[in-house]
Structure 1
Amino acid sequence: MSLSAFFNSTRGTAAKRVLAACVAIAALSGTAACGSAANTATSSTSSDSKISVIASINQWGSVARDLGGNKVDVTSIMTNTNVEAHEYEPTSSDIAKFTSAKVVVVNGADYDPWASKAASSTKATLVNAAETDGKKSGDNPHVWFSAAVRSSAADAITKAYEKAMPEQKSYFAGLNTEWKAKEQKLEATIKQSSSKLKGTNYAATESVAWYLADDLGMNDVTPSGYAQASANESEPSPADIKEYQEALATGNIKMLVFNSQEADSVTDQITSAAKKNNVPIVNLTEQMPKQYTDLLDWMNALVTSFANSIE
């Protein structure tokens, strides 16, 4: 069974993150009155020229920036690939950034519930990327890897901008067209690469790139015991790890997808077994690496890495 099959399991950490966000919001509300006049003046000044946009993660922040051009001011909260995204707890400073936002872009699918919670206390228009394509809590949350979600989220962001600045509707429509053209080039590259990768069996240390691999026509054959433990955010048993190592030795797994953002002693054992058995490893992270400022450029690089890993 694939990693993606287990994402309907309850995530205990999600509740903790929501609780942490609530505490931060409560702390913020206690101090808001003292600075309300200053905050109002700042918001009014910035809104006259640009739409204030907050994105929970940098990959959606890049899309929001591309679609808004010089009419938006975008701030991304999570930008560090050294942070475990599923464990992220926002600070009071993070939450405060939402107060002046006119548009908030979150990932959704229980990936960043703290951001949705923070946005709910404001008048900002909320764009939930996962929900734009019908993804919900319990589904694989790494939706920026999905061509369908990227496209539907882009349209939702453009609509939010048109609502905030209706006199610039044609400007935003033009940027949406430009972005869609670049996305279509990426999808053409994915289609071309799928002619080489379609039907390829792969396994993963975490189902981060499942949507991209699916778009490429690849088969997720991650051993079920390890897959279930990973989806439940629990430690795989010694038997699970052994099963994975043995699977890598059979030759059935043609590629290992490794989320280096959440490397630990367990993944060290898996990657070591892959190297021992000459299984190609594709390294990636959840957050967009610093060398990229555009989600689509990052996706193009990953598609190339997938294609080049297979001889």
Structure 2
Amino acid sequence: MHRIARIAIAALASVGMLASVAACGSGQSTSEKNGTIEVVASVNQWGTMAKTLGGDNVNVTSIINSTNVDAHDYEPTTSDITKLQKAQVIIVNGAGYDAWAVKAAQTANATIVNAAEVGGVNDGENPHVWFSADVRKAVAQAITRAYEGTRPDGKADFDKLNQQWRSKEDEIARKITETKRKADGEAYAATESVAEYLAGDLGLKDATPTGYTRATANESEPTPTDIKQFTDMLEAGKVGLLVVNIQEETELTGKIVTAAKSSNIPIVELTEQMPEQYDSLTDWMAALVDAFSKAI
């Protein structure tokens, strides 16, 4: 073989090896290569919204998917952190609910949507912001903007998906308006304030004893006086509804439920984490509004 030919072949081989190394070291996932946006949400209520708003244009991973897991106390795995670091869009709840996710997101090269911040809810306030109609709308807009910023060529599709989501949320708004007319400021009590925003949207007035509410919000034990005020109020029939977070059932909540049942006070059971049987946050909220409507 001529010397020039050997040099040419060696050069071509080197180029091929370099191209192979570059491809392996590019760090692009399959979804990035085909244009799909990698999205990671700390909890499934926001993850399902992210999927609804992104459709086939996104690949969404929700770190917490079960009502058996408490997001407040969750300890993320190395795999969870890796997922967050590789995401292009990250959705966290904020307001102290998922501090582990907020912290991990800060060092990621991603567009971050903090639901509480978007909805104007600060640390120290009720962090269960997905129960608020106003916050859901604000977060949906923020997610759509994040997608459009990541993939500008998909703007028309993202706008269409946003409009479809909004039409379903408008159906919930109509249910809320109808239920609010029925509620007419009716008093309710709750074992935990997880659904405070939803109850407010429905026009219900929180009559839970202040001491009890303060204790549960701070994750401390209510005093015997707090508990007696609560059960006496229920046994006297001073509220028209009891809201129970069945994700946090204890001997104390059992005593409260018993007091409500003794006075035939309707009970609405719910969880703070989205149950697995629902495919989307809007489906879950629609079901909860129906549950309140039947109880009022």
TM over 0.5: yes
- 1:121, distance to aligned residue in structure 2 (A): 1.3
1:239 — aligned with what?
225
2:292 — aligned with what?
306
2:28 — aligned with what?
43
Does structure 1 residue 269 correspond to structure 2 residue 258? no
> 1:71 pairs with 52, 57, 67, which one?
57
1:25-59 CA-partner distances (Å, limit 9, x unpaired) = xxxxxxxxxxxx99965634321221000000100
Distance 1:291-1:42 versus aligned 2 partners, 3 A rule: farther
Separation in 2 of the partners of 1:118 and 1:38? 28
SS in 2 for 1:217: coil
Q: How do 1:1-311 and structure 2 match up within 5 A?
A: 43-49=28-34, 50-310=36-296
- The residue identity in structure 2 corresponding to 1:124 is A
Distance 1:48-1:38 versus aligned 2 partners, 3 A rule: closer
SS in 1 for 2:84: coil
SS in 2 for 1:65: helix
Distance 1:60-1:236 versus aligned 2 partners, 3 A rule: same
Taking structure 1 as the reference length, the TM-score comes to 0.85
Which moved further from structure 2: 214-223 or 107-116?
107-116
SS in 2 for 1:159: helix
Asked if the contact 1:106–1:129 (Cα under 8 Å) also holds between the matched residues in 2, the reply is: yes
- 1:139, distance to aligned residue in structure 2 (A): 1.2
1:30 — aligned with what?
none
- The residue identity in structure 2 corresponding to 1:304 is D
Distance 1:94-1:38 versus aligned 2 partners, 3 A rule: farther
- The residue identity in structure 1 corresponding to 2:167 is A
The unaligned stretches of length 5 or more in structure 1 are 1-36
Separation in 2 of the partners of 1:55 and 1:38? 28
SS in 2 for 1:167: helix
Separation in 2 of the partners of 1:186 and 1:39? 48
The alignment yields a C-alpha RMSD, in angstroms, of 1.5
Distance 1:306-1:202 versus aligned 2 partners, 3 A rule: same
- The residue identity in structure 1 corresponding to 2:32 is S
> For this pair of structures, how many residues does the alignment match?
274
Asked if the contact 1:85–1:286 (Cα under 8 Å) also holds between the matched residues in 2, the reply is: no
SS in 1 for 2:181: helix
- 1:249, distance to aligned residue in structure 2 (A): 1.2
- 1:133, distance to aligned residue in structure 2 (A): 1.9
- The residue identity in structure 2 corresponding to 1:46 is S
Separation in 1 of the partners of 2:111 and 2:222? 40
SS in 2 for 1:80: coil
2:7 — aligned with what?
none
Separation in 2 of the partners of 1:108 and 1:40? 34
RCO comparison, higher one (Cα < 8 Å, 6+): 1
Larger Rg: 1 or 2? 2
Separation in 2 of the partners of 1:176 and 1:285? 27
